[in-house]
Structure 1
């Protein structure tokens, strides 16, 4: 696992039991993100997102942080596959997760306005952020200026309203059909990621095969059936399709309620 030293902003690599305590970032990918190659060549001193994450981690007494955009060498298919299959575990094992909402600004807004801005954040619409919401024990939400909004526990009623997730703190008690419903309206850039982003939520692993399209979801269902006897999985059609935005079409939802 490759981590950012929050003081030097340099990448360091650790393995298995030697992984030190770390903070982890949850965010939406935007047009200009610092990649692994950028970190090696130029560093991250000019990235407000990375430096803000590292500063808060230092304040919380953490020497290391993990950020997906720059800690994974995506030019390596083997490393990318390992990261996708490990991501849920990495978020679960983090000391704290910082959810950075770049489309929310709380300064100058009253609580009603904050609730509205928080509710409309696109962070709640992304496929990958579902596991990033559920896996970590502690999540702290921040606005675009790195001003703290609140924790998952403090904001629980509002988050449950936004997401429809009634098992926010004990998602393992939910049925397969319920978990699928949480993801149904979320979007991913790649069609395949609609399945890959759910692997950790269901406790399964499979190699990502970008280019397989809709077959990724069928493979996911088969993997789930290998580890679970929860028949609610059959409440979902096997031939799920996605629209051009990577979102499951609205008519392809639960067959039973």
Structure 2
């Protein structure tokens, strides 16, 4: 795992997990001028002009501000996905994506940077509740309406970045504090459809497979495969990345979930309008996208007493009540 020294703005690598220091972590949506690992390293070994160009990049400003905030919070290191992963190495990228949920969970604090939300939102009272009287407070309603406009809440990768860390702080485009996951619990539940208990630290495995899938039903990723890869941590699944496989990635994810979890709510889905398939293509027991689980929130875990589902070369063998 690589971390940025928040004071020196240099990368350090930690190969021994037991020696990883306390760190803050950044959650954000990617723009067109992000800083890669190679650019980050080259900027400090190149000439003056190279470094000047580097420091004008919008992605660099995010790194600087996240580092500054980490130092103010007493953390010497910060992790930023754009420059802490060597994306030219398929092996490293695969390892990083399979470790992502754990890295966010182990962070001391997560900074959720909402670059499309301008300043003007002041932090709400520290209620940490979903009480209806709080939910309809005018100030809280204003905050919810503003937050719901953020692109951050529509992206696939930010789902685990919201759930995994215990402490999350939300910042506007100029790094003004909006609030924390704790004091925005009601707003976040309304915006995302994620149960308040899940946001408040209840382990994801406490919720049915279909419910967890429903949390991703309104989210998108740039690459088709990433909607599956971004959910691996939420289901405690590890699998190799095969970019180019398209929707098969989501089918593979469901197959892996079945190997570890007997919860048959994984079959509680229906094709969304955008995912409707011609009858000539046949019907699969697996969904093609989290969108098919839009109503998965209605289903609880169901583990039958019979034989658990098994994968065969013919497909899935499963005993279902009729």
Query: Is 1:42 matched up with 2:73?
Result: no
The equivalent of 2:146 in structure 1 is 117
The equivalent of 2:132 in structure 1 is none
Q: In 2, Cα distance between the equivalents of 1:144 and 1:195?
A: 29
Cα deviation, 1:73-120, whole Å, max 9, x if unaligned, reads 100000000000000000000011000000112337894544322111
Instruction: State the TM-score, normalizing by the size of structure 1.
Output: 0.92
Query: Is 1:144 matched up with 2:144?
Result: no
Q: In 2, Cα distance between the equivalents of 1:62 and 1:256?
A: 38
The equivalent of 2:30 in structure 1 is 29
Query: Is 1:2 matched up with 2:2?
Result: yes
CA positional deviation for 1:28: 0.3
Residues 23 and 96, structure 1, Cα contact 8 Å, conserved in 2: yes
Q: In 2, Cα distance between the equivalents of 1:177 and 1:255?
A: 5
Query: Is 1:186 matched up with 2:219?
Result: yes
The equivalent of 1:11 in structure 2 is 11
Aligned length: 251
Q: Structure 1 regions of 5+ residues with no counterpart?
A: 243-247
* Rg comparison, structure with higher value: 2
After superposition, the Cα gap between the structure-2 partners of 1:149 and 1:233, relative to the gap in structure 1 and judged at 3 Å, is: same
Residue in structure 1 matching 2:155, options 123, 126, 146: 126
Q: In 1, Cα distance between the equivalents of 2:297 and 2:176?
A: 42
Instruction: State the TM-score, normalizing by the size of structure 2.
Output: 0.74
Residues 235 and 256, structure 1, Cα contact 8 Å, conserved in 2: no
RMSD: 2.0
Q: Structure 2 regions of 5+ residues with no counterpart?
A: 45-53, 123-137, 271-284, 299-322
After superposition, the Cα gap between the structure-2 partners of 1:21 and 1:254, relative to the gap in structure 1 and judged at 3 Å, is: same
Q: In 2, Cα distance between the equivalents of 1:36 and 1:183?
A: 29
Residues 156 and 168, structure 1, Cα contact 8 Å, conserved in 2: yes
